């Protein structure tokens, strides 16, 4: 289950307080006890008694990772990351995206491997629920490599993806030898 906004606020407050020391006094946090208990149960924070001051808490490695992962996922989902110069946005259906994921996954067994950076572009693609599309930011070479992937998909299963990609003015045409 996803973290509640209250739990996220507790994690962020602990992270901010931990910059000076590893442990943060739980009383210094504007947090309900139930959020702290839930985060301890999830293994995202740990607590210890400090005598007169009560309880102290700190992020676990998993808690730090949860914050970093959440931040990156929200940025990619919201499209807040900037489009690098020299790239273009290409929208793929879930089926087309599965084909390009397979293409980069089998790169070592291909004679003509994916263009440099295509695997990373697949990893950083964002999903847009409206229209059910995956948006990849690709260089010209990566778009050509994507066309080759869709060509292979057409040979294996369906040419639909290759035809739809031609909408972007891109297609792969094999050269007879």
Residue 13 counted as domain residue: yes
Which H helix or E strand runs over 89? strand 88-92
Residue 137 counted as domain residue: yes
Closest CA to 40 of 16, 24, 62: 62
Q: Which domain holds residue 47?
A: 5-68
The answer to whether the beta carbons of residues 96 and 170 sit under 8 Å apart is no
Q: Are residues 54 and 116 in the same domain?
A: no
Q: Are residues 94 and 137 in the same domain?
A: yes
Report the mean per-residue pLDDT for the chain. Answer: 83
d(CA 120, CA 11): 29
- Is the per-residue pLDDT at 174 higher than 80? no
- Residue 34 has a pLDDT of 86
Q: Which pLDDT band holds residue 79 (cuts at 50, 70, 90)?
A: low
> For the chain, what's the residue count?
177
d(CA 36, CA 34): 5
Comparison of pLDDT for 88 and 30, the residue scoring more: 88
d(CA 164, CA 139): 19
Q: Which pLDDT band holds residue 1 (cuts at 50, 70, 90)?
A: low
Structural domain total, the chain: 2
Residue 83 counted as domain residue: no
**Contacts with 29 (C-beta within 8 Å, 6 or more apart), sequence order:** 10, 13, 14, 17, 36, 57
Q: Are residues 48 and 100 in the same domain?
A: no
- Is the per-residue pLDDT at 114 higher than 90? yes
- Is the per-residue pLDDT at 101 higher than 90? yes
d(CA 74, CA 102): 25
């Amino acid at each position: 289950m996803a973290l509640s906004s209250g739990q996220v606020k507790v994690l962020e407050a602990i992270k901010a307080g931990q910059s000076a020391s590893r442990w943060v006094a739980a009383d210094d946090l504007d947090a309900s006890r139930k959020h702290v208990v839930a985060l301890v149960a999830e293994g995202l924070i740990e607590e210890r008694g400090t005598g007169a001051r009560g309880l102290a808490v700190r992020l676990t490695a998993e808690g730090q990772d949860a914050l970093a992962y959440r931040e990156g996922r929200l940025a990619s989902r919201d499209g807040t990351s900037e489009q690098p110069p020299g790239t273009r946005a290409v929208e793929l259906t879930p089926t087309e995206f599965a084909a390009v994921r397979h293409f980069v996954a089998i790169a070592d067994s291909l004679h003509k491997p994916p263009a440099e950076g295509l695997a990373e572009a697949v990893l950083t693609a964002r999903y847009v629920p409206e229209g059910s599309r995956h948006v990849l930011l690709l260089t010209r070479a990566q778009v050509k490599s994507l066309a080759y992937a869709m060509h292979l998909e057409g040979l294996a299963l369906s040419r639909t993806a290759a035809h739809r990609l031609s909408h972007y003015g891109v297609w792969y045409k094999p050269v007879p030898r």
